[in-house]
A and B are shown apart, each in its own frame.
Chain A
Amino acid sequence: MSIMKIENLQAKIGNKQILKGLNLELEPGKVHAIMGPNGAGKSTLSKALVGHYDVELTGGNIMYKGKNINEMEAEERALEGIFLSFQHPVEIPGVNNAYFLRTALNAKRKHEGKEELNAAEFLRLMKSHLEMLGMKSDMISRSLNEGFSGGEKKRNEILQMLILEPEVIILDEIDSGLDIDALRAVSEGINKMKDGKRSFLVITHYSRILDYIEPDYIHVLKDGKVIKTAGPELVPYLEEHGYDGIEEE
Chain B
Amino acid sequence: MANEGLDKAVSGEYALGFEIDIETDTVPPGLDENTIAFISNKKEEPEWMLELRLKAFKKWQTMTEPHWGKLDYEPIDYQAISYYSAPKEGIDSLDEVDPKILEAYEKLGISLEEQKQLAGVKVAVDAVVDSVSVKTTYSEELEKHGVIFCSISEAIRDYPELVKKYMFSVVPMADNYFAALNSAVFTDGTFVYIPKGVRCPMELSTYFRINAINTGQFERTLIIADEGSHVSYNEGCSAPTRDEHQLHAAVVELVILKDAEIKYSTIQNWYPGDETGKGGIYNFVTKRAICQGDNSKVSWTQVETGSAITWKYPSCILKGDNSVGEFYSVAVTTLAQQADTGTKMIHLGKNTSSTIISKGISAMKGQNTYRGLVKIGANATGSRNYSECDSLLIGSNCGAHTFPYLESKDTQGQVEHEATTSKISDEQLFYLRQRGINEEDAVSMIVHGFCKQVFSQLPMEYAVEAKALLELTLEGSVG
B-binding residues in A (CB < 8 A): 50, 52-53, 73-75, 78-79, 83-84, 86, 89-90, 92-96, 100, 103-104, 107-108, 111, 143-144, 160, 164
Contacts and interface: CB of A to CB of B under 8 A. Distances in A.
Interface stretch (B88-96, B105-113, B294-302, B447-455): B447-455
Contacts of B161: none
A83 to B, nearest CB: 8
A89 B428 CA distance: 9
A103 B441 contact: yes
Interface in B28-61: none
A84 B434 contact: yes
**Size category of the binding interface on chain B:** 20 to 34
- Most interface-central of A52, A89, A111 (chain B CB within 10 A): A52
Nearest to B4: A53
Contact of B448 (A73, A74, A79, A94): A94
Contact of B426 (A50, A53, A75, A79): A53
Interface string B436-451: 1111010001101111
Contact of B434 (A74, A94, A103): A74
B436 A78 contact: yes
A75 B445 contact: no
Nearest to A76: B436
Given A53-B426, A108-B436, A94 B453 contact: yes
B428 A78 contact: no
Contacts of A144: 449
- Most interface-central of B428, B430, B441, B446 (chain A CB within 10 A): B430
Leading 8 A-B pairs by shortest Cβ distance: A94-B449, A95-B449, A94-B452, A78-B436, A104-B435, A74-B433, A53-B1, A75-B433
Nearest to A81: B436
Contacts of A103: 437, 441, 445
A95 B448 contact: yes
A76 B433 CA distance: 8
B450 A94 contact: yes
A94 B436 contact: no
Interface in B414-430: 425-428, 430
Contacts of B450: 93-94
A92 B449 contact: yes
B432 A100 contact: yes
B435 A78 contact: yes
Given A74-B430, A160-B435, A90 B425 contact: yes
Given A75-B436, A103-B441, 6 more contacts: A74-B433, A75-B437, A75-B439, A86-B431, A94-B453, A164-B436
Contacts of A89: 431
Contacts of B452: 94
- Most interface-central of A53, A78, A108 (chain B CB within 10 A): A53
B436 A111 contact: yes
A92 B422 CA distance: 12
A229 B354 CA distance: 65
Nearest to A91: B428
Nearest to B435: A104
Contact of B449 (A86, A93, A111, A160): A93
A100 B426 CA distance: 17
A92 B453 contact: no
B169 interface: no
Contacts of B448: 94-95
A92 B446 contact: yes
A78 B434 contact: yes
B144 to A, nearest CB: 38
A94 B451 contact: yes
B446 A95 contact: yes
A3 to B, nearest CB: 18
Contact of A92 (B428, B433, B439, B451): B428
Nearest to B436: A78
Contacts of A84: 434
B436 A107 contact: yes
B3 interface: yes
A236 to B, nearest CB: 34
Nearest to A111: B436
B2 interface: yes
A149 to B, nearest CB: 18
A75 B446 contact: no
17 contacts: A78-B433, A78-B435, A83-B434, A92-B431, A92-B432, A94-B451, A95-B446, A95-B448, A100-B435, A103-B441, A104-B432, A104-B436, A104-B437, A107-B437, A143-B449, A160-B435, A164-B436
B446 A53 contact: no
A164 B435 CA distance: 8
A22 B425 CA distance: 30
B3 A53 contact: yes
Contacts of A95: 445-446, 448-449
Interface string B144-178: 00000000000000000000000000000000000
Interface in B1-28: 1-3
Contacts of B3: 53
A197 to B, nearest CB: 19
Contacts of B425: 90
Contacts of A53: 1-3, 426, 430
A89 B439 CA distance: 18
A74 B425 CA distance: 16
A160 B436 CA distance: 11
A96 B451 CA distance: 12
Contacts of A143: 449
Given A90-B427, A90-B431, A79 B449 contact: no
Contacts of B439: 75
Contacts of A107: 435-438, 441
A73 B434 CA distance: 9
A3 B448 CA distance: 37
A194 to B, nearest CB: 21
